[in-house]
Amino acid sequence: MKILVPVKRVVDANVKIRVKPDGTGIDFANVKMAMNPFDEISVEEALRIKEAGLATEVVVVSIGPDKAAETLRTGLAMGADRGILVKTDARIEPLAVAKLLKAVIAAEEPGLVILGKQAIDDDSNQTGQMLAALLGWPQATFASKIVLTDGGATVSREIDGGSETIALKLPAIVTTDLRLNEPRYASLPNIMKAKKKPLDETTPEALGVDVTPRLTVLGTVEPAGRTGGIKVASAAELVAKLKEAGAI
């Protein structure tokens, strides 16, 4: 069985982003980019399944500009076998990503697709569910444990108030939560080896997918800042202040 892992190039999770003063978006100048943290977890899980002898190939796919190839190389350095870049400079929404992935899946025929539960830039949490819908496949979102069984998968999911376990028929879509695993670091030799692994390129046009956005971004602003607080000297003063403010 082949596992397909979509990965996204996003602003590094530790960067404090800046909103452009003219309200047109986020300032990406000289900002460090990285693989979306949830996608690292997806790659790791796919590799572990392959290492357990339950998958034959792990293919990473990314949609974005030329530089998204770097993100694919990161996945290859972790241990993925092959990369596919769907090259576009357009703003691509989750629905369009799901349609592009559906087209890639038609050619690749994976038995399992593992995505991150959300990207830390647009915070949408949609692509995996949308892809499952378009394919007519079952979905297990927010996975904290994946066990492959004969022709199926048993997945524990993080839900409000605890967790639940569901069974899926394969092929299926799984989206990863933070608790699923601890992603490995790529070693230097593996980073070197990754440069030689195959990386195919295609485009939305070649895949026959209309990626016209359905949402128009009218503006992007900084959230209202909090007014500066005070430091109190003791617990007694803290309680007095909270009583004064009517909080307790």
Partner 1 sequence: MTTLIIAEHDDHSLNEATAKTLTAAKALGAPVDILVAGLHCRAVAEQAAQLDGVAKVLLADDEELAHRRAEPVAALIVSLADGYDAIVAPATASGKNVLPRVAALLDVMQVSEITKVISPTVFERPIYAGNAIETVESHDPKRVITVRIAAFPATGTGGNAPIETVGVPTDTGLSSWISADLSTSDRPELAGARIVVSGGRALGSAEKFNEVIAPLADQLKAAIGASRAAVDAGYAGNDLQVGQTGKVIAPDLYVAVGISGAIQHLAGMKDSKIIVAINKDPDAPIFQVADYGLVDDLFSAVPAFIAALKG
Helix (H) or strand (E) holding 172: strand 172-176
Binder to partner 1 among 103, 120, 148, 191 (CB under 8 A)?
A: 120
Contacting partner 1 within 164-183 (CB under 8 A): 164-169, 172, 177-179
**Which lies closer to partner 1 via its Cβ, residue 57 or residue 121?**
121
- Among 40, 44, 81, 93, contact with partner 1 (rule: CB under 8 A): 93
Q: Please report, as residue ranges, which positions from 11 to 70 form the binding site for partner 1 (by CB under 8 A).
A: 11, 13, 16-17, 19, 26
Residue 74, C-beta contacts closer than 8 angstroms, at least 6 positions apart:
7, 34, 35, 186, 194
> Which stretches does DSSP call E strand in 49-119?
57-64, 82-87, 112-116
Minimum Å distance from CB 179 to partner 1?
Answer: 6
Contact 140/155 with Cβ under 8 angstroms? yes
Find the part of the chain contacting partner 1 (CB under 8 A) among 45-53, 75-83, 137-145, 191-199.
Answer: 137-145
Pick the closer one to partner 1 by CB: 163 or 203: 163
Cα separation, 48 vs 217, in Å, equals: 39
Residues that contact partner 1, how many (by CB under 8 A): 80
> Restricting to residues 211-230, which ones interact with partner 1 according to CB under 8 A?
213-223, 226-227, 229-230
Closest by CA position to 40, among listed 82, 83, 74: 74
Closer CB to partner 1, 87 or 241, in the complex: 241
User: 33 Cβ partners below 8 Å, 6+ apart?
Assistant: 9, 10, 11, 12, 67, 70, 71
